Structure 1
Amino acid sequence: MTNQNTPASGRAIPPAAPSAASAQADAKTALGWMHTARFLTTAAQLHHLPALDLPEIAFVGRSNAGKSTCINTLTQQKQLAFASKKPGRTQHINLFSLGRQNVTDAVLADLPGYGYAAVPKEDKIRWQRVMANYLVTRENLAGVVMMCDPRLGLTELDETLLEVIRPRVEEGLKFLVLLTKADKLTRSEGAKALSIARLNAGGGEVKLFSALKRVGLEETAQLLWQWTHPPQADASPDRPDTDAPAAVDPQAEPPAAD
């Protein structure tokens, strides 16, 4: 007897690709979840951070790479992540909780920007050590998102950070490079920047991102959802919980660039 999913030729019919409506619903759910972000705590020293057993995603990047703008765009909040008027001066780790109905199921960590020339050398070195210790020792760290201005490429400090987290990435830590300010690139420049970054990302994913044009917004939100909500045995592996709050209007005015 021929299986109903197998044609007369005997070759199995591949499963249907997710419909456009399904993909749109997944993106809406992920963006709605990101919109629940709220301030949790801030710490000037690593040992001041609370010990958590929830998945944590760290945002890192060189000062002026657009890190605060990226966080605010992803969460659809204009002032969640503070962009200092003096880049590099903000020297705290800020945590934001995520979850429906004020029940936290994941945490975002906004790490200080690094590499800004106006910051005294001793402060740079101290914060490089703090960040390295955080990235190496934070037990609940589930993923790292590194912002990079593609017009500058990966700097020496970016490459140093990659070396710090490489052992954890090899052990399963999720890693994403977001090439910010993608609206300033032509199509060919964007393709070239992606190719170069992928060669240097050490096995991590690379995406173009633009707060102004909303490039990469939905894809990044869905990826962060997947990092922190692995499929359960009794749940569909491709569909997040549809009870998450709806996202705000994606056409809303973007936050000011940092």
Structure 2
Amino acid sequence: MERALVMQRSTQTNEAARCAVLLPFFAEVAQPIALIEVGASAGLCLYPDRYSYRYDLHGRVLELDPRDGESDVVFSCPVVGSDFAAPRLPEVASRAGIDLNPLDASDAEQVDWLEALVWPEHEERRARLRRAARVAAQDPPKLVRGDASDEIADLVAQAPRDASVVVFHSAVLVYMTPDERSRFTETVSQLPVTWISNEGPAVLPRVTEQVSKDIDGRTIVAVNGQARALVGPHGQSLELL
């Protein structure tokens, strides 16, 4: 039974805490924004406005909560860099995503699979995943099954016309072949969007060559190909560049 399940599934980490390191860059874009996530899995990163944040700025904690109060999902994130400007929660006009195998956050069995992919000792991440899944289940995003390069232009065209379109992804392009990666980056670069990538140093060489600091196992957040921050791969830290 377990072997059959594993053979039918694939690794689809959906770490909502990555919103903590993406939020400052979402906030820079003219509001409202239409979010489109590549490699969305169950879409848990499509709700940056529904979560709470605690940014630790050298011992001073900046608290951000939705208008209706503290969320059940709270992210703590230490920040390195004296020029960190307090972000605002974005105004999200629409939420959409692309995945080869999109998951449904309202389906208990599919959430069980996501939970099984969290490392055994990461109990806090599992609990956070469950809470974030409940947020997504209450207001499901539009998730499209397919190849990112094939589907992205249509989703951009469907976004609300009065919203700034933001295409983003975290630890996704690493799973593409070099040709697939090149095709996607060329496609998204030609679209009328803000492109926010959060990938490892080997994935986008033109971004990585802009970083002079020790990357030390972190991923690089870039906006339209410009490196902006080094971050914990699961959203656990943020160092501005």
TM-score, normalising length: structure 1: 0.33
Larger radius of gyration between Structure 1 and Structure 2: 1
Q: Which is strand-richer, 1 or 2?
A: 2
The higher relative CO (CA closer than 8 Å, separation ≥ 6) is in: 1
